[in-house]
């Protein structure tokens, strides 16, 4: 496991550097973005999220959207429009998600979707920032007495169709000369039910989704995660349309603002107090007292303050969704870089 | 119609055509512009690309490095398989329930009625998911399989049937039996039932020559050996067949009622038993009325097989509109292919049924 | 997915005699035990029923639970209808805001008020009633459901769901596809070759492909055909697809009605000097549509059932919200209850419509 984390850490740092600097190097003129203009004109952000999976995005019993991806959507709305509830959430299926984004129906897609070369190049999409690092994880019944992935040779695994998961399994089978069978499902509801009923020996998805799946099993305690992940590091994050760099930049820096808030130790509870005439230059920049960081993104300078006050820092959001108050998934790779994780960001000056 | 269309109307139709063509051109133009804007091309070359995924249930071999085109072939075969199975079962079931609907027995008649009403008035998708989730997924796991006669196994993973292990002459004998059966069918006017003797003997010899039964057995995680009938196939098949059977039952019933009463009475007065009257007099005549509505039911079965996507049956829609679309990112092409194939299957089926319709009509007169 | 014919009703021979017991005995003899085979069949059916019905009764009624608010209440061993009861609002309204649900209720009341004169067999001004049902009512319902005017809180269409969404989709689709279907049917019978070819092409294209691919196309492909910056609500896109698809089926149904109008009617109208459009509108179509009513009702029933397919393209109709509710960690393990409930809801609606269609058909048959 440590080997993977180390390798992943390197890739992640590299990715963050590339994403951060390659994007900002081109950022000369302040925002002139068709998407940003459209969002402001509409007075509402249209955010594509999952149709419903605990952890990332789901509607609670009262019909309110919750989750890690949802928090990012709300933060963008908060930055641009000054209110975290000016978002229209569109639940998208894995099949249609990129088409819906490309057509302009949604402004940004934050739907536990993996960053990949093909999606960046062939599908014409930008990949602003990663809000969840994971790897394709396998969940099996403890009663199978399987401890490692290669032992699943001959087993059948439930998978959602229209994902990178199928390809990863095909690659893994070929590399290890084994045969893990797959059963392809259209919707998570049926896939979860089939796994629970014993139609498959296990379920696979990214680590966060598997944790969500386990929470819907009849006896979650009967299930365990295998230590190996396949398909390398799976960075999940937001997607935007190519050709609107200013918008992509804004989406990216909204995520970075939530990370910066955690680094600076700003929480929802104390954001307003700490914004009262701080001395620390980092805090002054964050709260928009020095510099014109908001203007450069095409929003006002209090954008980051609002995010910290209304949404909270990244750590708080993680805790409420995947962490102890949510699905109980350890922070792991999603720790800040100085805690051995991959969540890193460029400096602000 | 007695009136010939006026000159103005005849000129108007070209205007309509121009308008339709204009709309089509505009849409194509917009689509092309949108595709260009997203740096996406249009073309079917991707079909020859390497498809890197597994198809869980298939009739012909599938290897690493096979193309999307071969994936397409596999899916079409899966779609045709479940459609063919459902058409056979729905016809048989519909015939049975249709006859039950006309039974002189009050109970039988009303049970058939309840079945027809229940099935026809609930959504097919709900039925298919019900069979899959609420019925088939309550079966026990592989280690607690039900053992059926001949060593067949039934569990949540499906029905595992034993298969014959071929002996030295099995293949040749099976081919001979098939040829003899075809000959018997072709010459049935001259030979009658006697023609079936040779194929039956050959089939028996074929069975005798087999080296034995390969029984399914639990090995590792799954049952190995034999033929697996996956629950996805069974659920989709059951959903398609029962639904269509209810509609076919009504078609059968209406067709039987349409056969003149005099025909039945005449046949009965000749001393035929009721079953004989039904089989030899009523059904052949009813068949002629039945063929056109039956065709539309068969087409419905084929089209509804796309609902297999809801229960993980790897048919055309699920694999092509799902995995292939997502891996290749080619929305327009995959949907065009999907629609073209369904259209082709539909048109071929109706052409075949029309041919059959003409034939029964000719034989009847 | 179009329906079969609405069947004629079979009348078993029935003779009433004086005295209920004697009548019952003779009825039993005539209907259940008249021959050896029938007696055998009767016994078989009774045996099968004795095997199946009691466990079904125990599961669904005797040992079932309806009370309580958590799954802990369900320990009778039978069905857990509590699961359904606590979620009834979700199943009926989807995620429609609770404070605004009265607007949905009011819309349904309006639907009943507007539909009643159309459905009644003896209505004097049916034309006016139909016109109000397809113009005034949708306008009122749209204002009520979507809100945003007259101080009504706006409710996005992605909050619409449950059975209400099925009804909305079905109504809009019927109201849109019937007129289009009439035009297509007239086009298919036209003597103008281009019009006929276009109509046939359109009808056969839609009838040849599965509804699921059409819905999927509306979700994925339609946006590509819209100019940049224009986007359609996904519900609207699904509705457009459903309307086009069902128009093809309606066209065939109306064509059947048109074929039932005696040609003499057209000749008479023509000799009166009526133009083609007025002849169709005043003479032919009223008769054709009346003949086609039972078949139209069948198509509507099929269409209503098919609204469940929108759950596959991500809209939260009744089947969609039931499936979602099934994976709620607090209420796991009740798929049978959920799907039985969904099926029952659809059965009630569809059976009522079918029964209405059969009644009209009987009246038509009697009037002929």
Interatomic CA distance for residues B323 and B320, integer angstroms = 6
Among B105, B236, B349, most C C-beta atoms within 10 A, so best to mutate, is: B105
Question: For residue B58, is it within any domain?
Answer: no
Among A34, A120, A183, most B C-beta atoms within 10 A, so best to mutate, is: A183
CATH of the domain at A220: 3.40.190.10
Average pLDDT for B82-87: 94
User: Where would I find the H helices in B187-230?
Assistant: 188-191, 197-209
Q: Do C234 and A88 touch (CB under 8 A)?
A: no
Q: Are residues A76 and A190 in the same domain?
A: no
DSSP annotation string for A32-58: --HHHHHHHHHTSEEEEEESSBTTTBE
pLDDT recorded at residue B39: 64
pLDDT recorded at residue B183: 81
Q: Tokens for C159?
A: 């909050």
Among A58, A96, A188, most C C-beta atoms within 10 A, so best to mutate, is: A96
- CB of B31 within 8 Å of a chain C CB? The answer is yes
Q: Do B323 and A161 touch (CB under 8 A)?
A: yes
Q: Are residues A262 and A126 in the same domain?
A: yes
> How far off is chain C from A213, nearest CA to CA, in Å?
9
pLDDT recorded at residue B162: 81
Q: Are residues A65 and A147 in the same domain?
A: no
Q: Are residues A227 and A248 in the same domain?
A: no
Q: Are residues B253 and B283 in the same domain?
A: yes
Average pLDDT for B346-354: 87
Q: Are residues A244 and A330 in the same domain?
A: yes
pLDDT band at A286, cuts 50/70/90?
very high
Q: Which residues of B touch C311 (CB under 8 A)?
A: 125
- CB of C333 within 8 Å of a chain A CB? The answer is yes
User: Where would I find the H helices in B102-157?
Assistant: 106-120, 124-129
pLDDT recorded at residue B139: 85
The pTM for the full model equals 0.81
Q: Are residues A122 and A243 in the same domain?
A: yes
Pick the residue with more confidence: A323 or C72? A323
Q: Are residues B315 and B353 in the same domain?
A: yes
Q: Are residues B252 and B118 in the same domain?
A: yes
Nearest to B137 among A144, A186, A197 (CB): A197
Q: Tokens for B193?
A: 């039932």
pLDDT recorded at residue A14: 45
Q: Are residues A14 and A129 in the same domain?
A: yes
- List, in order, residues 6 or more apart from B269 with CB less than 8 Å away: none
Q: Tokens for C356?
A: 């209405």
Q: Which residues of A touch B130 (CB under 8 A)?
A: none
Among C146, C327, C342, most A C-beta atoms within 10 A, so best to mutate, is: C327
Q: Are residues B316 and B260 in the same domain?
A: yes
**pLDDT tens for each residue of B191-227:** 767 777 777 888 787 777 776 777 777 777 777 777 8
Range of the domain at C48: 29-83
* Region for residue A223 given its phi and psi (left: phi exceeds 0; alpha: psi -120 to 50; beta: otherwise): beta
Question: Which residue in chain B has the smallest CA separation from C46?
Answer: B107
Q: Do A197 and B220 touch (CB under 8 A)?
A: no
Question: For residue A162, is it within any domain?
Answer: yes
pLDDT recorded at residue B222: 73
Pick the residue with more confidence: B327 or B159? B159
pLDDT band at C38, cuts 50/70/90?
confident
Task: Give the HSE-up count for residue C356: Cα atoms under 13 Å, Cβ half-sphere.
Answer: 18
Pick the residue with more confidence: A225 or B226? A225
Q: Are residues C71 and C186 in the same domain?
A: no
* Interface ipTM: 0.83
Question: For residue C75, is it within any domain?
Answer: yes
Binding partners of A (≥3 Cβ pairs within 8 A): B, C
Q: Tokens for B212?
A: 């034995």
* Region for residue B159 given its phi and psi (left: phi exceeds 0; alpha: psi -120 to 50; beta: otherwise): beta
Average pLDDT for A274-278: 88
Average pLDDT for C107-117: 84
Question: For residue A346, is it within any domain?
Answer: no
Question: For residue B343, is it within any domain?
Answer: yes
B329-333: which pairs have CB atoms within 8 A and are 24 or more residues apart? B329/A98, B329/A118, B329/A119, B329/A122, B329/A123, B329/B40, B330/B40, B330/B46, B331/A99, B331/C220, B331/C221, B331/C224, B332/B31, B332/B35, B332/B42, B332/C221, B332/C224, B333/B42, B333/B43, B333/B44, B333/B46
CATH of the domain at C261: 1.10.3720.10
- CB of A194 within 8 Å of a chain C CB? The answer is no
Say if residue A228's pLDDT is above 80: yes
Average pLDDT for C328-349: 85
Size of interface B-C (CB pairs under 8 A): 199
Q: Do A91 and C158 touch (CB under 8 A)?
A: yes
- Give how many domains chain B has, as a whole number: 3
Average pLDDT for A304-312: 94
pLDDT recorded at residue A71: 95
Say if residue B64's pLDDT is above 90: no
Out of A91-100, B187-196, C124-133, the most confident range is: A91-100
Pick the residue with more confidence: B83 or A17? B83
- Give how many domains chain A has, as a whole number: 2
- Give how many domains chain C has, as a whole number: 2
Q: Do B318 and A98 touch (CB under 8 A)?
A: no
pLDDT band at B38, cuts 50/70/90?
low
Which residue from C49, C50, C54, C79 is spatially nearest to C66, judged by alpha carbons?
A: C79
Q: Are residues C265 and C319 in the same domain?
A: yes
Q: Do B54 and A166 touch (CB under 8 A)?
A: yes
Q: Are residues A149 and A218 in the same domain?
A: yes
Question: For residue A319, is it within any domain?
Answer: yes
CATH of the domain at B272: 1.10.3720.10
Q: Are residues B182 and B328 in the same domain?
A: no
Q: Are residues A83 and A200 in the same domain?
A: no
> How far off is chain C from A35, nearest CA to CA, in Å?
10
Q: Do B105 and C192 touch (CB under 8 A)?
A: no
- CB of B127 within 8 Å of a chain C CB? The answer is yes
Q: Which residues of C touch A216 (CB under 8 A)?
A: 327-329, 332
Q: Are residues C194 and C181 in the same domain?
A: yes
> How far off is chain A from C204, nearest CA to CA, in Å?
27
Of chain B, the end-to-end C-alpha distance in Å amounts to 30
Query: Of the candidates C83, C113, C145, which is a domain's last residue?
Result: C83
Is C292:C254 a contact under the CB 8 Å cutoff? yes
Q: Are residues A19 and A154 in the same domain?
A: no
Question: For residue A150, is it within any domain?
Answer: yes
Question: For residue A344, is it within any domain?
Answer: no
Say if residue C227's pLDDT is above 80: no
Percentage of chain A modeled with pLDDT above 90: 36
Query: Of the candidates A214, A233, A252, which is a domain's last residue?
Result: A233
Lowest mean pLDDT among A246-250, B160-164, C89-93: B160-164
Question: For residue B221, is it within any domain?
Answer: no
Interatomic CA distance for residues A135 and A230, integer angstroms = 6
**pLDDT tens for each residue of C241-273:** 999 999 999 998 888 888 877 777 777 777 777
* Total Cβ atoms within 10 A of residue A281: 13
Say if residue B45's pLDDT is above 90: no
**pLDDT tens for each residue of B12-28:** 778 888 888 898 888 88
pLDDT recorded at residue C10: 43
Q: Are residues B187 and B316 in the same domain?
A: no
Say if residue A72's pLDDT is above 60: yes
pLDDT recorded at residue B207: 74
pLDDT recorded at residue A319: 93
Q: Are residues B311 and B240 in the same domain?
A: yes
Question: For residue A349, is it within any domain?
Answer: no
Interatomic CA distance for residues B18 and B306, integer angstroms = 35
Q: Are residues B192 and B339 in the same domain?
A: no
* Total Cβ atoms within 10 A of residue B56: 19
Range of the domain at A254: 2-133+236-339
Interatomic CA distance for residues C305 and C163, integer angstroms = 11
Say if residue A69's pLDDT is above 90: yes
Interatomic CA distance for residues B26 and C230, integer angstroms = 15
Question: For residue A64, is it within any domain?
Answer: yes
Range of the domain at B237: 68-143+229-364
Question: Which residue in chain B has the smallest CA separation from C194?
Answer: B13
**pLDDT tens for each residue of C182-192:** 999 888 888 88
Q: Are residues B238 and B315 in the same domain?
A: yes
Q: Are residues B73 and B118 in the same domain?
A: yes
pLDDT recorded at residue A22: 41
pLDDT recorded at residue A107: 93
Percentage of chain B modeled with pLDDT above 90: 21
Question: For residue C159, is it within any domain?
Answer: yes
Q: Are residues B318 and B239 in the same domain?
A: yes
Say if residue A31's pLDDT is above 70: no
Question: For residue C111, is it within any domain?
Answer: no
> How far off is chain B from C339, nearest CA to CA, in Å?
6
């Amino acid at each position: 496991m440590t080997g993977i984390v180390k390798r992943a850490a390197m890739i992640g740092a590299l990715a963050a550097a590339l994403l951060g600097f390659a994007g900002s190097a081109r950022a000369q003129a302040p925002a002139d973005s068709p998407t940003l203009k459209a969002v402001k004109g509409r007075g509402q952000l249209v955010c594509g999220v999952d149709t419903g999976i605990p952890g990332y995005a789901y509607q609670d019993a009262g019909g309110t959207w919750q989750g890690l991806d949802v928090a990012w959507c709300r933060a963008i709305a908060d930055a641009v429009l000054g209110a975290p509830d000016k978002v229209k959430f569109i639940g998208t299926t894995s099949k249609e998600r990129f088409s819906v984004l490309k057509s302009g129906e949604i402004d940004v897609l934050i739907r536990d979707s993996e960053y990949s070369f093909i999606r960046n190049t062939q599908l014409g999409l930008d990949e602003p920032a990663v809000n969840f690092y994971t790897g394709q994880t396998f969940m099996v019944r403890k009663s199978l007495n399987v401890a490692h992935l290669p032992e699943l040779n001959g087993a059948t695994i439930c998978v959602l169709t229209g994902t990178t998961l199928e390809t990863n399994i095909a690659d893994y089978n070929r590399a290890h000369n084994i045969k893990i069978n797959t059963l392809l499902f259209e919707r998570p509801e049926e896939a979860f039910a089939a796994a629970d009923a014993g139609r498959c020996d296990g379920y696979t998805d990214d680590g966060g989704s598997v944790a969500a799946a386990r929470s819907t099993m009849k006896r979650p305690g009967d299930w365990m995660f295998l230590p190996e992940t396949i398909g390398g590091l799976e960075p999940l994050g937001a997607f935007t349309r190519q050709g609107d760099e200013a918008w992509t930049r804004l989406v990216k820096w909204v995520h970075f603002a939530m990370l910066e808030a955690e680094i600076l130790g700003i929480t929802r509870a104390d954001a307003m107090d700490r914004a009262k005439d701080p001395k620390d230059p980092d805090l002054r920049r964050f709260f928009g007292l020095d510099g014109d960081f908001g203007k450069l993104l095409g929003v006002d300078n209090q954008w980051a303050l609002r995010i910290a006050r209304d949404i909270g820092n990244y750590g708080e959001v993680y805790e409420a969704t995947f962490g102890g108050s949510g699905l109980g998934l350890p922070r792991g790779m999603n720790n800040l870089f100085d805690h051995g994780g991959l969540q890193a960001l460029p400096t602000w000056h | 119609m007695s009136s010939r269309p006026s000159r103005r109307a005849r000129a108007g139709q070209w205007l309509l055509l121009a308008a339709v063509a204009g709309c089509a051109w505009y849409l194509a133009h917009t689509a092309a512009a949108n595709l260009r804007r997203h740096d996406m091309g249009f073309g079917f070359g991707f079909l020859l690309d390497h498809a890197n995924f597994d198809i869980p249930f298939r009739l012909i071999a599938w290897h690493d490095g096979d193309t999307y085109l071969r994936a397409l072939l596999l899916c079409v075969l899966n779609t045709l398989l479940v459609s063919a199975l459902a058409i056979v079962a729905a016809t048989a079931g519909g015939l049975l329930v249709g006859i039950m609907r006309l039974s002189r027995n009050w109970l039988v008649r009303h049970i058939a009625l309840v079945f027809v009403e229940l099935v026809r008035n609930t959504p097919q998708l709900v039925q298919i998911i019900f069979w899959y989730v609420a019925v088939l997924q309550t079966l026990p796991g592989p280690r607690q399989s039900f053992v059926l006669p001949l060593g067949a196994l039934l569990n949540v993973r499906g029905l595992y049937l034993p298969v014959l292990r071929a002996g030295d002459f099995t293949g040749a004998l099976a081919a001979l039996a098939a040829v003899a059966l075809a000959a018997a069918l072709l010459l049935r006017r001259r030979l009658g039932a006697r023609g079936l003797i040779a194929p039956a003997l050959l089939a028996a010899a074929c069975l005798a020559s087999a080296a034995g039964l390969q029984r399914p057995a639990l090995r590792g995680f799954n049952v190995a050996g034999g033929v697996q009938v996956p629950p996805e196939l069974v659920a989709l098949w059951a959903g398609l067949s029962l639904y269509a059977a209810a509609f076919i039952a009504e078609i059968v019933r209406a067709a039987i009622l349409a056969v003149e009463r005099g025909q039945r009475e005449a046949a009965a007065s000749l001393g035929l038993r009721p079953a004989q009257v039904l089989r030899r007099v009523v059904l052949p005549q009813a068949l002629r009325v039945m063929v056109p509505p039956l065709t539309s039911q068969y087409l419905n079965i084929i089209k509804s097989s796309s609902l297999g996507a809801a229960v993980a049956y790897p048919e055309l829609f699920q694999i092509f509109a799902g995995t292939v679309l997502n891996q290749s990112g080619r929305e327009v092409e995959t949907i065009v292919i999907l629609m073209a194939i369904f259209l082709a299957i539909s048109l071929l089926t109706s052409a075949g049924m029309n041919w059959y319709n003409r034939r029964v009509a000719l034989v009847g007169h | 997915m179009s329906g079969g014919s609405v069947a004629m009703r079979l009348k078993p021979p029935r003779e009433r005699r004086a005295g209920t017991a004697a009548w019952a005995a003779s009825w039993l003899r005539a209907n259940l035990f008249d021959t050896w085979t029938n007696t055998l069949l009767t016994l078989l059916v009774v045996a099968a029923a004795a095997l199946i019905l009691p466990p079904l009764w125990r599961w669904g009624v005797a040992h079932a639970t309806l009370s309580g608010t958590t799954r802990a209440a369900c320990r009778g061993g039978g069905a857990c209808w509590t699961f359904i009861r606590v979620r009834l609002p979700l199943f009926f309204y989807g995620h429609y805001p609770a404070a605004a649900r009265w607007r949905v209720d009011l819309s349904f009341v309006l639907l009943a008020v507007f539909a009643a004169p159309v459905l009644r067999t003896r209505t004097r001004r049916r034309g006016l009633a139909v016109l109000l049902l397809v113009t005034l009512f949708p306008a009122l319902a749209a204002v009520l459901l979507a809100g945003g005017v007259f101080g009504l809180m706006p409710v996005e269409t992605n909050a619409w769901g449950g059975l209400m969404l099925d009804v909305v989709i079905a109504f809009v689709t019927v109201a849109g596809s019937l007129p289009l279907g009439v035009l297509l049917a007239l086009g298919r019978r036209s003597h103008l070759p281009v019009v006929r070819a276009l109509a046939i092409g359109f009808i056969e294209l839609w009838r040849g492909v599965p509804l699921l691919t059409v819905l999927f196309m509306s979700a994925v492909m339609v946006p590509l055909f819209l100019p940049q910056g224009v986007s359609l609500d996904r519900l609207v896109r699904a509705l457009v697809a459903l309307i086009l698809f069902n128009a093809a089926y309606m066209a065939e149904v109306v064509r059947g009605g048109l074929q039932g109008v005696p040609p003499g009617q057209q000749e008479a109208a023509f000799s009166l000097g009526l133009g083609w459009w007025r002849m169709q509108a005043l003479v032919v179509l009223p008769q054709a549509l009346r003949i086609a009513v039972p078949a139209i009702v069948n198509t509507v029933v099929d269409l209503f059932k098919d609204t469940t397919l929108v759950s596959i393209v991500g809209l939260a109709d009744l089947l969609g919200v039931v499936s979602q509710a099934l994976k709620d960690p607090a209420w796991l393990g009740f798929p049978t209850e959920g799907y039985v409930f969904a099926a029952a809801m659809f059965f009630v609606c569809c059976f009522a419509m079918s029964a209405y269609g059969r009644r009209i058909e009987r009246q038509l048959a009697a009037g002929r």
